Chain A
C-alpha cells in the first residue's frame, strides 16, 4: 500500500549549517507530497507541498523537489536557524475515487544549536 519512509532522527545541527531530511515514498498512481512541521507546543502545520513530478515546493527557506524517478521528496535548507528546531513530517496524499487520505512518515526531530 501507500507509505512514506522518512530519515530517522534526531538531527542536531549548528546554526547556519545545511539541512537535508530524506523522504521516500511508495504509491500507486500520482500522489501529492507534503512536508508538515510541528514546533514545540504547537499543532502540525503545512510547510510546503508539491502536487506533480518535478514540482519544487518552497517556504521559509526550505525546499523539496518531487522526484518521481527516485520516488523521493527530500527536505533541504541552506542555512538553518535556532527557530527551525521542530519535528518535520513527510506526508503523501493519494486520492482514490472521491476519497483522499494523507499518510505521514514517522517524523524527524531537528534541534539547531546557536
Chain B
C-alpha cells in the first residue's frame, strides 16, 4: 500500500514570496490533515479535511495560508506571502473516516521543509 506522498521535499524562498505544497493521501482515507512542525516543537494542526470539506481550520493563519482539497483526494497548502516565522516542516497526514472509528491513528508523509530567508 502506497503511503502519503508529499512534494516538494525542500523549498527555499525569500520572505514575501509564495509557495505551495502538495499532498496525496493513502487511497481510501477520507480525512486529510496539514500540520506545521517548527524546529524543536511538536506538530501543530493547521487544517483538517473530511473528504473535500473543511472540518477544522481554527489554527490556520487565514491571512496568508490557504488549503484546498477540491476532489476529496489530494490537497494543496499555499502560503502567500511568506514570513520568516513560516520556516518549518509541513506535514500531511491522512486517516480513515474521522467521523467514526478513527481513534487518532494518522499516517504521515515525509514532510516538506520550508526555509524562508
Contacts and interface: CB of A to CB of B under 8 A. Distances in A.
Contact of A99 (B43, B44, B55): B55
B45 A43 contact: no
A82 interface: no
A93 B56 contact: no
Given A32-B103, A32-B104, A100 B111 contact: no
A34 to B, nearest CB: 6
Interface in B1-34: 3-4, 33
Q: For chain A, which range describes its interface: under 10, 10 to 19, 20 to 34, or 35 or more residues?
A: 20 to 34
A49 interface: yes
Taking each of A36, A93, A102, which has the highest tally of chain B beta carbons within 10 Å of its own beta carbon? A102
Given A43-B91, A49-B103, A49-B105, A107 B45 contact: no
Interface string A46-75: 100101000000000000000000000000
Contacts of A44: 43, 91, 93, 106, 108
Interface residues of B, number: 26
Nearest to B35: A104
A100 B110 contact: no
Interface string A80-114: 00000000010101000011111011110000000
Contacts of B107: 45
A42 B103 contact: no
Interface of A: 4, 6, 32, 34, 36, 41-46, 49, 51, 89, 91, 93, 98-102, 104-107
